[in-house]
Chains A and B, each alone.
Chain A
Amino acid sequence: MTVQSYGKAIRDGFAYLLENHPETFVIGQGLWSPWYVGSSMTELEKEFGKERVIDTPVSEWACTSAAVGASLFGKKPIVVHPRMDFMIFATDSLVNQAAKWSHMLGGQAHPGLTVRGIINRGGEQGAQHSQSLQSWYAHIPGLRVVMPYTPQDARDLLIAATLCPDPVLYIDDRWLYEQEAQMPPAKDIDLTTIKNEVIREGADITLAGCSWGTHLAMEAAAQLEEDGISCEVVDLRVLNPFDGEALIQSVRKTGRLVAIDASWKTCGIASEAITRVVEAIEPRLLRSSPLRITLPDAPAPSSSRLEAIYYPKSAQVVATVKQMLN
């Protein structure tokens, strides 16, 4: 076991894939630059060559679609978009092409590409440089969506996504890059074996989140423990196909649910989490109405004064839980 940060764990995932799977290549903007992707890809092109780690023109749509094409002929491309906002130009490749291909052609062809969409927000970057679009893409059947919270998942989900024969959107969050954890050695992983899971046991309430939302849940759980409140935390790392099993079991036990997502409220992942639970468990088991903690339904502001109230914090989770328990 070695200690690794989330950002460097992603780099370890790339290095493992490029080393062990000659059919993989990486393509996207800024891959030869230290600016774009933090610590997560440093000097990969020096180690594996500029033929397999490709920095591109400003052409999100063409690069993503080209990766779809290459994936139909034996390659396992990973397309990197240094901000999710920029990959909106490439949405047709994902929604109309990659996600539909297998089904439209009777299951005979599968574009096994991975798209890495990075969430990079704050610092007054404003509305077009701050978006967390997981709910949007998780809506699309045929497109798998995963979102690592732990450093180990940051590495392992990248590997699993890349080895998966389906198109996968892998979303990582730059606010998590400094988190550290013990890591076992990397290995090949089958994405279909990865489930959402309880990452902290508790009895009084279930907190469910994805990525930064899980981070807020864990912070809040630690604080609430000091007040004698025992939180169970479910990490929603597999968003599509949505895996609700661990979540449903957890709420059966605790009877309470707060769902946390660092994206918008309406039609979001937090709504999905609550719906799955409400549909599955007997109403009498719910000891209070489930609640959501999300961004307000507004684009990201630029001014730091408004940023400060825009992004949810763990204190808000703590307050919500206390209110629910009273």
Chain B
Amino acid sequence: MTLNRLGTLADPNSFQDPLDLRNTPDEVAFEMLYRMALIRRAEEQIAEMVLAGEIKCPCHFAIGQEAPAVGISMHLRATDRGFGAHRSHSHYLASGGSVDKLFAEVLGRATGASHGMGGSMHLFGEGTAFAGSVPIVAGTVPLAVGAALAAKLDGSGDVGIAYFGDGACEEGIVHESLNLAATMKLPVIFLVENNLYSSHLDINLRQPSDRVARFGEAHGMATEVVDGNDVVKMASVAGRLIERARAGEGPGFIEAVTYRWLGHVGPDANIDVGLRRSAEEVSAWKKRDPIARLEAALLARGVEQGDINALKDNAERAAKDARKKAYDAPWPKETDLLDFVYASGGAK
């Protein structure tokens, strides 16, 4: 039996055209562009800080894969419950996480998203739809299921979102989670960002098909495969599945096919380490740039380049301001080490 594969969706030389904005009003497109630009500009600043030796914690960048998080975030409300992993700056910022707190967190400061206790891999979006990220691969997928169960028990109409990667699909816990969500008809969206790599290994060395949507299908849930660099399509697919989930019709599974421009961890492109990844592959994927494609579509519709630039400048300014503020932020207190262990504060 031959398995269904991604085909052209995994080919960087396709899907390079401007996006189809027919059903997207200007203000929505602008909002999506701003959120994507903010993620990119923030990560570029953070990458610079890593190179300068100012940030010590491991940082996994999502540059190039801004669209899935932003597309889905257009349908989230603050009471929804998103859970991420090691590469979650994008999920955190798209959900409305404070950029100031992100910079403070990666510098290990007390004003950070996790009060300086977590760094880049452990983010908490207080008051937003981002309920936490931690780096055990696939570890948070069942947490999103549980958060969805709580929402269902409360009849709140909120959804859980599990953000994970193609690599995480290899962990058994993902399959238990899918089955549980499907049999209990829970309001949870499994969003797989299939960037075709898990650290140094490409998906063809790890799975018999590059198409992970087969796992959602196997569990009988509403499943969509989408160009993960097309924020408009991402938003429309996510909107449909989230609406179903809120209405009690059960979980959804989205495979967003995308690509990380940088390496597994840190600002290096890893073209010398991946067993397939090459400079050519990376530059081909840059032509599928989710931001440039949205921009091209806006220009084609007659939006002024100046308006687009102003918006991108705003994103850049927000990131640079956050960076500046973070350097002056205080460090955690020594007592935090024990005080955060238990809700009661320390081993008391």
Contact = CB atoms under 8 A, between A and B. Distances in A.
A304 B116 CA distance: 10
Interface string B331-348: 110101110110000010
Contact of A62 (B134, B172, B331): B172
A128 B135 contact: yes
A128 B139 CA distance: 11
B121 interface: yes
Contact of A58 (B134, B171, B336): B171
Contacts of A310: 337
Interface in A284-326: 296-299, 301-306, 309-310
Q: Is the interface of A mostly helix, strand, loop or mixed?
A: loop
Contact of A302 (B119, B173, B264): B119
A63 B323 CA distance: 42
Contacts of B332: 301, 303, 305-306
A170 B306 CA distance: 61
Interface string B176-216: 00000000000000000000001111000111000000000
B311 to A, nearest CB: 33
Given A35-B273, A128-B134, A306-B334, A57 B170 contact: yes
Nearest to A127: B122
B58 interface: yes
Interface residues of A, number: 37
The listed residue with most B CB atoms (<10 A of its CB), out of A30, A36, A125, is A125
Given A62-B172, A86-B136, A124 B57 contact: yes
B119 A303 contact: yes
A126 B199 contact: no
B13 to A, nearest CB: 27
A35 B207 contact: no
Nearest to A85: B136
A107 to B, nearest CB: 30
B58 A124 contact: yes
A36 B136 CA distance: 15
A57 B198 CA distance: 8
Interface string A123-138: 1111111000000000
Given A58-B198, A123-B56, A303 B116 contact: yes
Given A298-B340, A299-B341, 8 more contacts: A57-B207, A58-B137, A58-B171, A62-B172, A89-B136, A124-B108, A126-B135, A306-B116
27 contacts: A35-B200, A35-B273, A36-B199, A55-B201, A56-B206, A57-B167, A57-B198, A60-B171, A86-B137, A89-B136, A123-B57, A124-B119, A125-B58, A126-B118, A128-B121, A128-B135, A128-B136, A297-B347, A301-B117, A302-B108, A302-B117, A302-B119, A303-B331, A304-B108, A305-B331, A306-B332, A306-B334
